Amino acid sequence: MLYHLGFIIVSLLIIVIPLLISVAYFTLVERKFMGSMQRRRGPNVVGFMGLLQPLADGLKLFAKETILPSNANIVLFVLAPIITFVLSLMGWIVIPFGEGAVVSDINVGILYLFAISSLSVYGIITAGWSSNSKYPFLGALRSAAQMVSYEVSIGFIIVTVVICAGSFNLSTIVLAQSKIWFIIPLFPMFIMFFISALAETNRHPFDLPEAEAELVSGYNVEYSAMGFALFFLGEYANMLIMSGMTTILFLGGWLPLFDIMPLNLIPGPVWFSIKLSIFVIAFIWARAALPRYRYDQLMSLGWKAFLPLSLGWLLFTVACLISFNWLPE
């Protein structure tokens, strides 16, 4: 019993600590990368070439004063960032980093990830409501509507991949791609999944919830210090988990590019990290390069373009699989 509990705690720490470090360096990569896209240096003062900048930022947020607005609903106001942060950590226990390198290899892993990402709306909407202020409320409503809309097309895309792989288990989905990665037969779905992931994590060009010009900063206007830091960490961990999901669903997870001699000597988790970093860079690239969508355009893209196309492609995939007798198992 005690041994089992200790095993759980150690495995969770093995997941959570590298995750927090990678979130910290994600912010540094974002600032450096955007700096070089905009022909400036980015952070370069704290530490060697600015490498200690995220730690300094974290320390600053930790040392600041937590302000609780007097008209806020205090319980929900305190609870909202905790919900967001915990939900962003919960998804990682089913992500396979390599063959067998997964905390909990459950047989409905992809559904679990989908359920967790659909729960993460609650952190945002309770933050917006409990702040009792108009900008957070508008930001939270926008964000919730956006996330609910794009979840529909994400669901259809996941179903398409699951039908091709024949399992809801993430490791089996990766192993089903050992002949060919799903990015090649399902390329339009891959593009749509990545765009939906941008919308689901409230990133540019779909960052309507925190449109600086209109809503100051959206749902987290009233938060300071650790509350804000938890939202920030949760948001970036969500981006990492969406990148990980794209990698697992379409880019063959830990599998090497070709199963030949020099490439398959590189261990699986390294391949997984390389593929995940591609999407991290793509997230930052989209932020630096693209202007923000208008809200009605965002909704019409989600409901009138992505939903019919993903539904149609699902039917097309099923028809192909049945008519050529390619269904797995």
Partner 1 sequence: MPNYLFYIFAGISIIAALMVITVVNPVHSVLFLVLVFLSSAGMLFVLQLEFIPLTFIIVYVGAIAILFLFVVMMLDIKVTSKSNDFFKYIPVGGLVGSLFIFEIFNTLSKSFVIPKSTMLVDNFVSWVSTVDKVTNLEALGQLLYTYYFIYFLIAGIILLVAMVGAIVLTLQFNKTVKNQLIFRQLSRSADSAVFLARN
Residues that bind partner 1 (CB under 8 A): 1, 76, 106-108, 111-112, 114-115, 118-119, 121-122, 125-126, 129, 137, 141, 144-145, 148, 151, 155, 168, 296-297, 300
Under 8 Å between Cβ of 174 and 249: no
Under 8 Å between Cβ of 255 and 90: no
C-alpha dihedral (54, 200, 114, 322), degrees to nearest 10: -130
The rounded distance, in Å, linking the Cα atoms of 231 and 250 is 28
CB of 298 to partner 1, least distance (A): 12
The nearer residue to partner 1, 23 or 215, going by C-beta atoms, is 215
The nearer residue to partner 1, 1 or 10, going by C-beta atoms, is 1
The rounded distance, in Å, linking the Cα atoms of 226 and 115 is 26
CB of 319 to partner 1, least distance (A): 17
CB of 13 to partner 1, least distance (A): 22
The nearer residue to partner 1, 65 or 329, going by C-beta atoms, is 329
The nearer residue to partner 1, 108 or 257, going by C-beta atoms, is 108
The nearer residue to partner 1, 36 or 297, going by C-beta atoms, is 297
CB of 283 to partner 1, least distance (A): 23
**How many CB atoms lie under 10 A from the CB of residue 289?**
11
The nearer residue to partner 1, 113 or 237, going by C-beta atoms, is 113
Under 8 Å between Cβ of 102 and 171: yes
CB of 205 to partner 1, least distance (A): 16
Peptide bond into 308 cis (omega under 30): no
Under 8 Å between Cβ of 118 and 151: yes
The nearer residue to partner 1, 115 or 266, going by C-beta atoms, is 115
Under 8 Å between Cβ of 298 and 210: no
The rounded distance, in Å, linking the Cα atoms of 142 and 160 is 28
CB of 129 to partner 1, least distance (A): 5
Alpha helices in the chain (DSSP H): 2-37, 53-63, 74-90, 109-119, 121-130, 134-165, 170-175, 187-200, 212-215, 225-250, 268-289, 295-300, 307-323
The rounded distance, in Å, linking the Cα atoms of 173 and 328 is 11
The nearer residue to partner 1, 111 or 183, going by C-beta atoms, is 111
Token duo for residue 269: 């988790």
CB of 242 to partner 1, least distance (A): 16
CB of 75 to partner 1, least distance (A): 9
The nearer residue to partner 1, 52 or 79, going by C-beta atoms, is 79
CB of 113 to partner 1, least distance (A): 10
**How many CB atoms lie under 10 A from the CB of residue 89?**
18
Taking the mean position of all CA atoms in its chain, how far away is CA 99? Answer: 22
